[in-house]
Copies of this chain bind each other. A is one copy, B any other.
């Protein structure tokens, strides 16, 4: 049934603890890549596809949060678990802001970690058959390449999109002709849903509308109180 072992990227600077944890996870049928610091962690992340990242927060050179941010830029979906020192509540909150899926206070119980890993991986598996793979869209007479972040009209000169512009347009494109709930964009892109992020999103909608003006068959409609809808009229 199971095609391949789940791959975990473990970034932990303490060599003893790291090795023990790695062995423990491998004993439990995970394929583990162990990086000794944030730098190395990011290098390894770029080289491979992982099903889960476990990041220590406190590390020399590059801490877990910075690493998480870099990882998130490459991949918005991969689950991240932070290992934080006990009592460091700030770390926990900061972790969630960066888009963590969970955290564990050190020292933690290994069985609990295992449960969390299982729960998270299973959860992600049921989530939309990774829309993460889709980066190129045809939107009316436009071509959106959301990996390189540009938008071309009629194959002409590409317009550069900022990260947020890009992600928002991509989300809209993924839901073409359908509702793209406000909440979805806010939680996925802004990672927070409040008055200000919501207004910020409206600003970006205005920007996108400007970009899309050249093709009058393409428009972004609002569904009051729900979200937006990218429609391509024929």
Contacts and interface: CB of A to CB of B under 8 A. Distances in A.
Interface of A: 1-3, 89, 92-93, 96, 100-102, 109, 111-112, 115-116, 118-119, 122-123, 125-130, 147-149, 162-163, 178-179, 181-184, 187-188, 192-193, 195, 198, 223-226, 229
Contacts of A149: 223, 226
B115 A182 contact: no
A5 B97 CA distance: 21
A148 B115 contact: no
Nearest to A77: B126
A229 B148 contact: yes
A225 B3 contact: yes
A128 B126 contact: yes
B163 A224 contact: yes
Question: What 5 A-B pairs have minimum CB-CB distances, sorted nearest first?
Answer: A122-B187, A96-B115, A1-B198, A89-B109, A3-B225
Nearest to A195: B1
Contact of A178 (B96, B115, B125, B130): B130
A183 B3 contact: yes
Q: Which of A2, A123, A229 has the most CB of B within 10 A?
A: A123
B126 A163 contact: no
B126 A112 contact: no
B89 A126 contact: no
B128 A129 contact: yes
A113 to B, nearest CB: 11
Contacts of A118: 96, 192-193
